[in-house]
Protein backbone atom coordinates (compact mmCIF):
# COMPACT_ATOMS: atom_id res chain seq x y z
CA UNK A 1 0.00 0.00 0.00
CA UNK A 2 1.23 3.50 -0.82
CA UNK A 3 0.50 6.38 1.54
CA UNK A 4 0.08 9.96 0.35
CA UNK A 5 2.11 12.59 2.21
CA UNK A 6 1.78 16.38 2.22
CA UNK A 7 4.62 18.58 3.43
CA UNK A 8 3.82 22.00 4.93
CA UNK A 9 6.94 24.17 5.02
CA UNK A 10 8.33 22.49 1.90
CA UNK A 11 10.65 25.40 1.08
CA UNK A 12 12.46 25.33 4.45
CA UNK A 13 15.37 23.25 5.68
CA UNK A 14 13.29 20.70 7.58
CA UNK A 15 10.76 20.48 4.72
CA UNK A 16 13.56 19.99 2.19
CA UNK A 17 15.06 17.16 4.19
CA UNK A 18 11.63 15.56 4.59
CA UNK A 19 11.17 15.65 0.83
CA UNK A 20 14.65 14.23 0.20
CA UNK A 21 13.79 11.28 2.44
CA UNK A 22 10.26 10.83 1.10
CA UNK A 23 11.59 10.72 -2.48
CA UNK A 24 13.60 7.64 -1.49
CA UNK A 25 10.85 6.02 0.57
CA UNK A 26 9.17 2.99 -0.99
CA UNK A 27 5.78 3.53 0.65
CA UNK A 28 5.07 7.24 0.18
CA UNK A 29 3.75 9.28 -2.69
CA UNK A 30 4.37 13.02 -2.33
CA UNK A 31 1.19 15.11 -2.47
CA UNK A 32 0.71 18.80 -1.68
CA UNK A 33 3.72 21.02 -1.00
CA UNK A 34 2.87 24.19 0.90
CA UNK A 35 4.64 27.20 2.44
CA UNK A 36 4.03 30.87 3.33
CA UNK A 37 5.35 33.76 1.24
CA UNK A 38 6.81 31.33 -1.33
CA UNK A 39 3.37 30.08 -2.40
CA UNK A 40 3.00 30.26 -6.16
CA UNK A 41 6.68 29.65 -6.90
CA UNK A 42 8.27 26.36 -7.98
CA UNK A 43 10.05 24.11 -5.51
CA UNK A 44 13.18 24.07 -7.67
CA UNK A 45 13.77 27.74 -6.81
CA UNK A 46 14.06 26.85 -3.11
CA UNK A 47 15.33 23.27 -3.06
CA UNK A 48 17.59 22.86 -6.11
CA UNK A 49 18.84 19.49 -4.81
CA UNK A 50 15.35 17.93 -5.13
CA UNK A 51 15.39 17.59 -8.92
CA UNK A 52 12.37 15.26 -9.31
CA UNK A 53 10.16 17.88 -7.63
CA UNK A 54 11.66 20.97 -9.29
CA UNK A 55 8.53 21.85 -11.25
CA UNK A 56 6.06 21.35 -8.44
CA UNK A 57 4.22 24.57 -7.54
CA UNK A 58 4.11 25.59 -3.88
CA UNK A 59 0.61 26.12 -2.50
CA UNK A 60 -0.59 28.21 0.44
CA UNK A 61 -0.59 26.40 3.76
CA UNK A 62 -4.31 25.91 4.33
CA UNK A 63 -6.24 22.98 5.80
CA UNK A 64 -7.94 22.55 2.41
CA UNK A 65 -4.58 22.04 0.66
CA UNK A 66 -3.40 19.59 3.32
CA UNK A 67 -6.66 17.62 3.53
CA UNK A 68 -7.08 14.30 1.77
CA UNK A 69 -3.60 12.92 2.54
CA UNK A 70 -2.77 9.94 4.72
CA UNK A 71 0.07 11.85 6.39
CA UNK A 72 0.72 15.56 6.83
CA UNK A 73 4.24 16.54 7.84
CA UNK A 74 4.37 20.00 9.43
CA UNK A 75 7.71 21.82 9.07
CA UNK A 76 6.39 25.28 9.94
CA UNK A 77 7.34 27.92 12.49
CA UNK A 78 6.11 27.20 16.02
CA UNK A 79 2.51 28.07 16.84
CA UNK A 80 0.73 26.97 13.68
CA UNK A 81 0.10 23.30 14.36
CA UNK A 82 -3.03 23.47 16.51
CA UNK A 83 -5.24 25.21 13.96
CA UNK A 84 -4.17 22.82 11.21
CA UNK A 85 -4.62 19.73 13.42
CA UNK A 86 -8.09 20.83 14.43
CA UNK A 87 -9.17 21.48 10.85
CA UNK A 88 -7.77 18.18 9.52
CA UNK A 89 -9.53 16.15 12.19
CA UNK A 90 -8.50 13.04 14.08
CA UNK A 91 -8.12 10.60 11.17
CA UNK A 92 -5.14 12.21 9.43
CA UNK A 93 -1.68 11.29 10.71
CA UNK A 94 0.03 14.59 11.59
CA UNK A 95 3.76 14.53 12.24
CA UNK A 96 4.81 17.91 13.63
CA UNK A 97 8.49 18.87 13.36
CA UNK A 98 7.76 22.00 15.39
CA UNK A 99 7.75 22.28 19.17
CA UNK A 100 4.06 22.95 19.84
CA UNK A 101 3.15 19.55 21.32
CA UNK A 102 6.47 18.39 22.79
CA UNK A 103 6.22 19.61 26.38
CA UNK A 104 3.78 18.13 28.88
CA UNK A 105 4.13 20.95 31.41
CA UNK A 106 2.12 24.04 30.38
CA UNK A 107 4.17 26.25 32.73
CA UNK A 108 7.44 25.18 31.13
CA UNK A 109 5.91 25.84 27.70
CA UNK A 110 4.70 29.32 28.63
CA UNK A 111 8.02 30.23 30.23
CA UNK A 112 10.17 29.23 27.25
CA UNK A 113 7.85 29.90 24.30
CA UNK A 114 5.82 32.81 25.70
CA UNK A 115 2.45 31.63 24.35
CA UNK A 116 -0.46 29.45 25.45
CA UNK A 117 0.28 25.71 25.61
CA UNK A 118 -1.39 23.81 22.75
CA UNK A 119 -1.24 20.39 24.41
CA UNK A 120 0.89 17.24 24.28
CA UNK A 121 1.20 14.59 21.57
CA UNK A 122 3.07 11.28 21.63
CA UNK A 123 6.77 12.21 21.68
CA UNK A 124 8.61 11.08 18.58
CA UNK A 125 11.80 9.58 19.96
CA UNK A 126 11.20 5.83 19.52
CA UNK A 127 14.44 4.87 21.29
CA UNK A 128 13.22 6.25 24.64
CA UNK A 129 11.98 3.52 26.99
CA UNK A 130 8.31 2.73 26.26
CA UNK A 131 7.99 5.27 23.42
CA UNK A 132 7.25 2.83 20.62
CA UNK A 133 4.02 1.71 22.29
CA UNK A 134 2.74 5.28 22.17
CA UNK A 135 3.77 5.77 18.55
CA UNK A 136 2.38 2.58 17.01
CA UNK A 137 -0.88 3.46 15.29
CA UNK A 138 -0.97 7.04 16.62
CA UNK A 139 -2.44 9.87 14.54
CA UNK A 140 -0.31 12.56 16.15
CA UNK A 141 3.45 12.82 16.64
CA UNK A 142 5.51 15.60 18.22
CA UNK A 143 8.97 15.29 16.69
CA UNK A 144 11.64 16.24 19.26
CA UNK A 145 13.99 19.18 18.98
CA UNK A 146 17.41 18.39 17.54
CA UNK A 147 19.40 19.02 20.75
CA UNK A 148 16.96 16.97 22.90
CA UNK A 149 17.23 14.07 20.42
CA UNK A 150 20.97 13.67 20.74
CA UNK A 151 21.35 14.64 24.39
CA UNK A 152 18.47 12.50 25.61
CA UNK A 153 19.78 9.44 23.77
CA UNK A 154 23.25 10.17 25.15
CA UNK A 155 22.11 10.40 28.76
CA UNK A 156 19.01 8.24 29.18
CA UNK A 157 20.74 4.86 29.74
CA UNK A 158 23.01 6.18 32.53
CA UNK A 159 20.22 8.21 34.15
CA UNK A 160 17.65 5.39 33.90
CA UNK A 161 20.07 2.89 35.48
CA UNK A 162 20.91 5.31 38.30
CA UNK A 163 24.61 5.26 37.41
CA UNK A 164 24.88 9.07 37.51
CA UNK A 165 23.46 11.81 39.67
CA UNK A 166 20.27 13.47 38.33
CA UNK A 167 22.18 16.62 37.48
CA UNK A 168 23.62 16.74 33.97
CA UNK A 169 25.67 19.13 31.85
CA UNK A 170 25.23 19.29 28.06
CA UNK A 171 27.44 21.40 25.81
CA UNK A 172 26.47 20.96 22.17
CA UNK A 173 28.06 22.36 19.03
CA UNK A 174 25.56 22.86 16.22
CA UNK A 175 25.59 23.71 12.55
CA UNK A 176 23.69 26.73 11.31
CA UNK A 177 20.79 24.96 9.54
CA UNK A 178 19.20 24.37 12.96
CA UNK A 179 18.16 28.01 12.90
CA UNK A 180 16.09 27.65 9.72
CA UNK A 181 16.39 29.54 6.44
CA UNK A 182 15.27 32.99 7.44
CA UNK A 183 18.04 35.54 7.75
CA UNK A 184 19.33 36.14 11.30
CA UNK A 185 22.07 38.67 12.13
CA UNK A 186 24.35 36.13 13.84
CA UNK A 187 24.07 33.82 10.83
CA UNK A 188 25.22 36.26 8.17
CA UNK A 189 28.21 34.80 6.33
CA UNK A 190 30.62 37.41 7.64
CA UNK A 191 29.51 36.76 11.24
CA UNK A 192 29.51 32.98 11.21
CA UNK A 193 32.54 32.21 9.04
CA UNK A 194 35.68 31.62 11.09
CA UNK A 195 33.79 32.04 14.37
CA UNK A 196 32.50 29.83 17.17
CA UNK A 197 30.19 31.30 19.81
CA UNK A 198 27.82 30.11 22.52
CA UNK A 199 24.24 31.39 22.66
CA UNK A 200 21.17 31.10 24.89
CA UNK A 201 23.39 30.18 27.84
CA UNK A 202 22.55 29.64 31.52
CA UNK A 203 19.27 27.78 31.10
CA UNK A 204 17.82 30.18 28.51
CA UNK A 205 17.52 27.75 25.58
CA UNK A 206 14.01 26.37 25.04
CA UNK A 207 15.35 22.84 24.64
CA UNK A 208 16.42 22.78 28.31
CA UNK A 209 12.97 21.78 29.65
CA UNK A 210 12.57 19.24 26.84
CA UNK A 211 15.82 17.49 27.78
CA UNK A 212 14.80 17.63 31.46
CA UNK A 213 11.40 16.14 30.61
CA UNK A 214 12.97 13.17 28.80
CA UNK A 215 15.52 12.48 31.53
CA UNK A 216 13.01 13.02 34.34
CA UNK A 217 10.71 10.40 32.81
CA UNK A 218 13.36 7.69 33.18
CA UNK A 219 14.90 8.95 36.44
CA UNK A 220 11.60 8.76 38.29
CA UNK A 221 12.19 12.28 39.63
CA UNK A 222 13.41 15.68 38.47
CA UNK A 223 16.73 15.97 36.67
CA UNK A 224 18.64 19.25 36.60
CA UNK A 225 19.94 20.17 33.15
CA UNK A 226 22.61 22.75 32.38
CA UNK A 227 22.57 23.17 28.59
CA UNK A 228 24.88 25.35 26.49
CA UNK A 229 24.50 25.42 22.69
CA UNK A 230 27.47 26.54 20.62
CA UNK A 231 27.12 27.71 17.02
CA UNK A 232 29.89 26.54 14.69
CA UNK A 233 30.47 27.41 11.04
CA UNK A 234 29.12 24.31 9.32
CA UNK A 235 25.70 23.79 7.74
CA UNK A 236 24.64 20.54 9.40
CA UNK A 237 25.38 18.41 12.43
CA UNK A 238 25.38 18.46 16.23
CA UNK A 239 28.09 17.17 18.52
CA UNK A 240 26.84 17.01 22.12
CA UNK A 241 29.18 16.43 25.03
CA UNK A 242 27.12 15.29 27.99
CA UNK A 243 28.50 14.74 31.47
CA UNK A 244 27.18 13.86 34.91
CA UNK A 245 28.73 12.87 38.22
CA UNK A 246 29.11 9.11 38.59
CA UNK A 247 27.39 7.51 41.57
CA UNK A 248 29.91 6.03 44.01
CA UNK A 249 31.51 2.80 42.81
CA UNK A 250 30.37 3.09 39.18
CA UNK A 251 33.20 2.42 36.76
CA UNK A 252 33.85 2.49 33.04
CA UNK A 253 32.89 -1.12 32.38
CA UNK A 254 29.49 -0.94 34.11
CA UNK A 255 28.72 2.30 32.31
CA UNK A 256 29.61 0.95 28.89
CA UNK A 257 27.66 -2.25 29.51
CA UNK A 258 24.45 -0.30 30.16
CA UNK A 259 24.78 1.51 26.82
CA UNK A 260 25.52 -1.66 24.88
CA UNK A 261 22.45 -3.29 26.43
CA UNK A 262 20.20 -0.27 25.89
CA UNK A 263 21.11 0.22 22.24
CA UNK A 264 22.27 -3.22 21.08
CA UNK A 265 19.08 -3.74 19.02
CA UNK A 266 18.50 -0.15 17.95
CA UNK A 267 18.85 0.30 14.19
CA UNK A 268 19.72 3.99 14.43
CA UNK A 269 21.93 4.18 17.54
CA UNK A 270 25.55 3.08 17.29
CA UNK A 271 27.72 2.84 20.39
CA UNK A 272 31.13 3.11 18.80
CA UNK A 273 33.98 0.72 19.64
CA UNK A 274 36.15 1.88 22.52
CA UNK A 275 38.62 4.55 21.49
CA UNK A 276 36.56 5.77 18.52
CA UNK A 277 34.80 9.12 18.89
CA UNK A 278 31.57 10.37 17.30
CA UNK A 279 31.93 13.01 14.60
CA UNK A 280 29.29 14.98 12.74
CA UNK A 281 30.90 14.25 9.37
CA UNK A 282 30.24 10.54 9.88
CA UNK A 283 26.47 10.94 10.21
CA UNK A 284 25.67 13.56 7.56
CA UNK A 285 22.51 12.63 5.72
CA UNK A 286 22.12 9.48 7.80
CA UNK A 287 19.53 8.74 10.48
CA UNK A 288 22.22 7.41 12.79
CA UNK A 289 23.11 8.64 16.26
CA UNK A 290 26.75 7.89 17.06
CA UNK A 291 27.61 7.60 20.75
CA UNK A 292 30.72 7.05 22.79
CA UNK A 293 30.64 6.60 26.55
CA UNK A 294 33.55 6.89 28.96
CA UNK A 295 34.18 7.31 32.67
CA UNK A 296 36.49 10.15 33.66
CA UNK A 297 37.53 8.48 36.89
CA UNK A 298 39.77 11.34 38.05
CA UNK A 299 36.85 13.79 37.77
CA UNK A 300 34.26 11.23 38.85
CA UNK A 301 32.09 11.95 35.82
CA UNK A 302 30.46 10.00 33.04
CA UNK A 303 31.24 11.53 29.65
CA UNK A 304 28.90 10.67 26.79
CA UNK A 305 29.44 12.18 23.38
CA UNK A 306 26.77 12.04 20.69
CA UNK A 307 26.71 13.08 17.04
CA UNK A 308 23.68 13.47 14.77
CA UNK A 309 22.69 15.25 11.61
CA UNK A 310 20.25 17.84 12.99
CA UNK A 311 18.14 17.75 9.84
CA UNK A 312 18.02 13.95 9.52
CA UNK A 313 17.76 12.12 12.87
CA UNK A 314 17.35 15.55 14.52
CA UNK A 315 14.22 16.41 12.49
CA UNK A 316 13.09 14.86 9.22
CA UNK A 317 14.59 11.39 9.68
CA UNK A 318 13.04 11.18 13.13
CA UNK A 319 9.74 12.32 11.62
CA UNK A 320 9.80 9.61 8.93
CA UNK A 321 10.83 6.97 11.50
CA UNK A 322 7.79 7.91 13.60
CA UNK A 323 5.48 7.99 10.57
CA UNK A 324 6.66 4.46 9.76
CA UNK A 325 5.74 3.32 13.27
CA UNK A 326 2.41 5.11 13.21
CA UNK A 327 1.46 3.53 9.87
CA UNK A 328 2.66 0.01 10.75
CA UNK A 329 5.53 0.11 8.23
CA UNK A 330 8.99 -1.24 9.01
CA UNK A 331 10.54 1.40 11.27
CA UNK A 332 13.61 1.72 9.07
CA UNK A 333 11.78 2.10 5.74
CA UNK A 334 13.20 4.90 3.61
CA UNK A 335 15.91 5.73 6.16
CA UNK A 336 19.60 5.20 5.72
CA UNK A 337 22.37 4.62 8.23
CA UNK A 338 24.91 5.48 5.54
CA UNK A 339 26.53 8.91 5.80
CA UNK A 340 28.21 11.12 3.21
CA UNK A 341 31.96 11.57 3.55
CA UNK A 342 34.29 13.40 3.39
Ligand X SMILES: NC(=O)C1=CN([C@@H]2O[C@H](COP(=O)(O)OP(=O)(O)OC[C@H]3O[C@@H](n4cnc5c(N)ncnc54)[C@H](OP(=O)(O)O)[C@@H]3O)[C@@H](O)[C@H]2O)C=CC1
Work out which of 3, 11, 88, 285 binds ligand X, going by CB under 6 A. 11
Which of 11, 92, 174, 243 is the binder for ligand X2W (CB under 6 A)?
174
Q: Does 138 bind ligand X (CB under 6 A)?
A: no
> Could you tell me the CA-to-CA distances from 36 to 10, 33, 73, 81, 323 in Å, in that order?
10, 11, 15, 14, 24
Judged by CB under 6 A, the chain residues 79 through 98 that form the site for ligand X2W are 98
209 to 248: interface string for ligand X2W, x by CB under 6 A: --------------------x-x-----------------
78 and 113 Cβ atoms separated by less than 8 Å: yes
- Closest approach of Cβ 131 to ligand X2W, in Å? 18
Query: Binding of ligand X at residue 63 (CB under 6 A)?
Result: no
Task: Look at residues 19, 54, 12, 13 and name the one whose alpha carbon lies nearest to residue 35.
Answer: 12
> Does residue 15 interact with ligand X2W by CB under 6 A?
no
How many CA atoms lie within 13 Å of 332's alpha carbon, on the beta-carbon side? Answer: 10
Q: Check residue 270 and report its DSSP letter.
A: E
Contact 241, 293 (CB under 8 A): no
Q: Per CB under 6 A, does 146 bind ligand X2W?
A: yes
Distance between CA atoms of 331 and 328, rounded to whole angstroms? Answer: 8
312 binds ligand X (CB under 6 A): no
Determine, following the binding rule CB under 6 A, whether residue 141 of this chain makes contact with ligand X: no
Query: Binding of ligand X at residue 42 (CB under 6 A)?
Result: no
Select from 178, 209, 237, 317 the one that contacts ligand X2W (CB under 6 A).
Answer: 178
Q: What is the CA radius of gyration of the chain?
A: 19
Specify whether 97 is catalytic: no
- Exposure string of 279-312, with b = 16+ CB inside 10 Å and e = fewer, is bbebbbbbbbbbbbbbbeeeeebbbbbbbbbbbb
E-assigned strand segments in 232-273:
238-246, 269-271
**Binding region for ligand X (CB under 6 A):** 9-15, 35-38, 61, 75-78, 97-99, 145-146, 177-178, 180-182, 310-311, 314-315
Q: Which residues bind ligand X2W (CB under 6 A)?
A: 98-99, 145-146, 174, 176, 178-179, 229, 231, 310
Amino acid sequence: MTFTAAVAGATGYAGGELLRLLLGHPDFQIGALTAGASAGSRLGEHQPHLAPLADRVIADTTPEMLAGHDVVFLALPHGQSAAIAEALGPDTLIVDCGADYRLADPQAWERFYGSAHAGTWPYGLPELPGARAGLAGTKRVAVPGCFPTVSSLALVPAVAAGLVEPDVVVVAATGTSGAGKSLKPNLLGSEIMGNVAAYNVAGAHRHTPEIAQNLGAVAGGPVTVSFTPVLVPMPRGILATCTAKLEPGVGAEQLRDIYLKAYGDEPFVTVLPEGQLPATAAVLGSNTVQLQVAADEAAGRAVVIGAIDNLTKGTAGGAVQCANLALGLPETAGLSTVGIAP
